[in-house]
């Protein structure tokens, strides 16, 4: 196996790390709530557990409010219970057939704690990317020792791996910087 094949194998893994981080960040509330904050709340209706996004449409209806329009009116009570049990800090109000989820304004302390959570998620992502680099480097070393990879290629692989890690770390940094700005708005 050539060093380029080894590097090409870790790219999809690093892409998964970035997309997972993106999903995790979408669950963190900023100044304006988004449907991703509540869409995965598990609602128990008809003796089944279902994510909220499968029971109705979720839209932003104000600066600190989401509107949930259930596809069936019988879901309303179960949706309200699920929202009150979730740890989103939101309250729900029934407005005809629409469940309005109201979020309190973000306090300065809460914003700082969100930024700490972001920093932890960033560090986890960077550690995972580093882990993939180490695995690729071990494979490269093993290939070199087996005579499949030349010494020049081994050092090229090390440089390419570092470039790849730097590229993904930059993506992670940019994503977090943008999210931090949204939180501090």
User: If pLDDT is split at 50, 70 and 90, which confidence band does 102 have?
Assistant: confident
pLDDT given for residue 128 in this prediction: 92
CATH of the domain at 66: 3.30.1360.40
Helix (H, G, I), strand (E, B) or coil at 28: coil
Domain boundary among 102, 121, 142: 102
Same-domain pairing of 82 and 42 = yes
Write out pLDDT tens, residues 12-24. 998 998 888 888 8
Same-domain pairing of 98 and 127 = no
Domain boundary among 87, 102, 117: 102
pLDDT given for residue 170 in this prediction: 92
- Residue (of 158, 139, 135, 160) closest to 148 by Cα position: 139
- Residue (of 48, 38, 45, 110) closest to 68 by Cα position: 38
Cα–Cα distance list, 117 to 24, 82, 120, 177 (Å): 10, 24, 5, 13
User: If pLDDT is split at 50, 70 and 90, which confidence band does 40 have?
Assistant: confident
Same-domain pairing of 92 and 45 = yes
Q: Is the pLDDT of residue 155 over 80?
A: yes
Domain housing 71 = 35-102
Same-domain pairing of 60 and 117 = no
Number of domain units in the chain: 2
Domain boundary among 60, 85, 102: 102
Same-domain pairing of 168 and 120 = yes
Count CA atoms closer than 13 A to 105's CA, side-chain side: 4
Same-domain pairing of 114 and 174 = yes
Q: Retrieve residue 74's tokens.
A: 């019988």
Q: Is the pLDDT of residue 30 over 80?
A: no
CATH of the domain at 178: 1.10.132.20
User: If pLDDT is split at 50, 70 and 90, which confidence band does 85 have?
Assistant: confident
Mean pLDDT, rounded, for 63-83: 80
Share of the chain above pLDDT 70, in %: 96
Same-domain pairing of 80 and 144 = no
Same-domain pairing of 123 and 179 = yes
Mean pLDDT, rounded, for 78-106: 77
Helix (H, G, I), strand (E, B) or coil at 81: helix
Same-domain pairing of 88 and 45 = yes
Assign 3-state DSSP to the chain and report helix, strand, coil percentages, each to 5. 60, 15, 20
Are the beta carbons of 164 and 124 closer than 8 angstroms? no
């Amino acid at each position: 196996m050539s060093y380029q094949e080894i590097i090409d194998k870790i790219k999809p893994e690093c892409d998964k790390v970035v997309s997972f981080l993106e999903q995790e960040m979408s669950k963190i509330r900023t100044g304006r709530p988004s449907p991703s904050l509540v869409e995965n709340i598990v609602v128990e209706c008809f003796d089944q557990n279902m994510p909220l996004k499968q029971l109705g449409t979720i839209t932003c209806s104000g600066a600190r409010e989401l509107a949930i329009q259930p596809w069936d009116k019988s879901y309303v009570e179960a949706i309200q219970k699920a929202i009150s049990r979730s740890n989103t800090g939101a309250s729900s109000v029934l407005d005809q057939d629409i469940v309005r989820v109201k979020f309190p304004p973000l306090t300065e302390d809460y914003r700082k704690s969100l930024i700490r959570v972001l920093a932890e998620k960033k560090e986890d992502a960077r550690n995972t990317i580093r882990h993939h680099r180490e695995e690729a480097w071990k494979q490269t070393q093993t290939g070199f020792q087996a005579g499949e990879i030349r010494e020049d290629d081994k050092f090229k692989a090390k440089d390419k791996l570092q470039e790849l890690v730097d590229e993904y770390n930059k993506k992670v940094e940019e994503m977090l910087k943008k999210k931090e700005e949204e939180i501090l708005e």
